[in-house]
Amino acid sequence: MKSTFIGLCIALFSSLEAQAATQVAYRTQDVDGIKIFYREAGNPANPTILLLHGFPSSSHMYRDLIPALMGKFHVIAPDYPGSGYSEVPEGVPFTPTFDGLADVMTRFLEKKGLTKFALYVQDFGGPVGFRIAAKHPDWISALVIQNANAYKEGLSAQLASDIKQLSVGINAETEQAMSQVLSPQGVQFMYKTGARNPEQLSPDAWMHDQDGLQSALNRKIQMGLLVDYHTNVEQYPAWHAYFRKSQPPTLIVWGKNDPLFIEAGAKAYLQDIKNAELHLLDSGHFALEEDSAEIASRVTSFIETRATLTR
């Protein structure tokens, strides 16, 4: 009788554990006073995939990808300070630069005990993730790159000009330019331009982003990051050196109609990473909005066959 009861308890516990692994948890991690919100799903015993989001989005951009991956992987998607649901309380120091973001995300990973993972990056996720990878190459089991640029040839002419203009810092002229980028029209431009079926895009995506930008602190942080973007271009040679030396297994899934990070930027990775796998998608900057199922399938297949599958 006792053994039957124990057996039932074990079965119940296993059932609850399995159910938890198929649900997304919404959590917050204190990182030196900064409240980092993150989405977590899947069994922690499985290989980990870290999803680093782009601008002006948050972990919300991975809302469809996470459920498609969590059956086989442990998935973590944090919001940066100034994005999504993360909070920088008054009086807590944070410098809105890409070095600052990378430092906070590194501390987040250390607090979570994550030192081996596949790194998925999009847009701002590239500068943040590549800084982490270059300093901790042993942490990276694989790279998945989605419209995250690391080469000058990947910058559109307009974007290259804007980066140079903003590099002088925040003043009346640059603040006006950034206000246009952060406006509802600017946010929607990044989602709709290059999409093959703009009328099929869910407005939930850009409305979520626009809501986050209503915060004065978030807007200030985003402006700080925009004027700091030139430091990413300056980091390109260091990232190329990391790619050439470490040769991480790399999957590139790129919306080829991106008006910001153009197709040449996707192909440029092949210069430095041998055997990188490249797939150009008929979509724009936020290709997940149209092609999450295809991207999830390619990520799953790639990591299972090419990555070092240890947590």
Q: Is 285 a catalytic residue?
A: yes
Q: Given this model, what pLDDT does residue 164 score?
A: 96
DSSP 37: E
**What is the per-residue pLDDT for 6?**
52
**Confidence category of residue 200, pLDDT binned at 50, 70, 90:** very high
* Measured distance CA(96)–CA(124) in Å, rounded: 13
pLDDT greater than 60 at residue 5: no
Please, are residues 48 and 117 in contact by the beta-carbon 8 Å criterion? yes
Task: Note the Cα 234 to chain centre separation in Å.
Answer: 20
* Integer Cα distance of 225 and 174 in angstroms: 13
| pLDDT over threshold 50, residue 11 | no
Q: Calculate mean pLDDT across residues 94-113.
A: 97
Count of beta carbons in the 10 Å neighbourhood of residue 135: 12
The pLDDT, as a whole number, for residue 94 is: 96
Mean pLDDT of all residues in 153-179: 96
Q: For residues 277 and 214, what is the distance between their CA atoms, to the nearest angstrom?
A: 39
Query: Is 80 exceeded by the pLDDT of residue 13?
Result: no
Query: pLDDT value at position 306?
Result: 83
Rounded to 10 degrees, the C-alpha dihedral 117/123/125/131 comes to 100
**Separation of first and last alpha carbons in the chain:** 39
CA nearest 69: which of 48, 38, 54, 45?
Answer: 48
Buried b (16+ CB within 10 A) or exposed e, 38-59: bbbbbbeebbbbbbbbbbbbbb
253: Cβ contacts below 8 Å, ≥ 6 apart: 144, 145, 146, 279, 281, 287, 291, 294, 295, 298, 299
Which of 8-12, 178-182, 201-205, 269-273 has the weakest average pLDDT? 8-12
Please report, as a single letter, which amino acid is at residue 83.
Answer: S
CB 195 within 8 A of CB 147: no
